[in-house]
Amino acid sequence: MLRAVLRDLASGPIAVQMRRFVVVGALTAGLQLALLWLFVDTAGLNYIVGATIAIEITIVCSYVLNNAWTFRASQNTGASEYLAGLLKTNLVRGTAIPIQLGVLAALVEWAGVMYLIANVAAILVSGLYRFVLDAHWTWG
């Protein structure tokens, strides 16, 4: 079962979408890390508050890029469809925020990991969850 899922991710019908999703995710993860650093080290915000703001900004950026490229074949077009998709992705990714913030806080507070490195791990943990829900609901 797991072998079949991994094979589909590598060469199956969703492989191209998954690769594009990963590229968009890497770009927006870099943006999220830069924003998090800016909010925490420059603006002096608590890392959880800074992460929450950075996450929401990158949710919007991810939607714009994924709609235009990753899910181009089923992209949301027209004002109402586009805004409905943005709302859906915010709901999907909004449900991933507690996962990401929980992993971030656990790694920082309990394991002593630097907040930027912990955020990378938190992004990776919540990434597959976000892809599955976005692929099936936001653009499904």
**38-67 residue pLDDT tens:** 999 999 999 999 999 999 999 999 999 999
pLDDT for 86 beyond 80: yes
Same domain, 47 and 4: yes
Same domain, 69 and 87: no
pLDDT per position as a tens digit, 87-114: 998 998 889 999 999 999 999 999 999 9
Same domain, 62 and 27: yes
Same domain, 55 and 86: no
- Residue 5: what pLDDT? 62
- Residue 135: what pLDDT? 80
- What gap in Å lies between CA 100 and CA 124, rounded to an integer? 9
Classify each residue of 55-85 as buried b or exposed e, where b means 16 or more C-beta atoms within 10 Å of its C-beta: beebbeebbebbbeebbeeeebeeeeeeeeb
Q: If you write DSSP's letter for every residue of 31-90 in order, what string do you get?
A: HHHHHHHIIIIIT---HHHHHHHHHHHHHHHHHHHIIIIITGGG---SHHHHHHHHHHHH
Same domain, 84 and 66: no
For residue 34, the enclosing domain spans: 1-75
Q: pTM of this prediction? A: 0.85
Query: Which of 75, 91, 122 is the last residue in one of the domains?
Result: 75
Round the average pLDDT of the chain to a whole number and report it. 91
Same domain, 58 and 81: no
Query: Which of 75, 96, 130 is the last residue in one of the domains?
Result: 75
Query: Which of 58, 75, 92 is the last residue in one of the domains?
Result: 75
Same domain, 68 and 113: no
Same domain, 70 and 86: no
pLDDT for 117 beyond 80: yes
Same domain, 59 and 40: yes
pLDDT per position as a tens digit, 5-37: 667 667 877 788 888 988 999 999 999 999 999
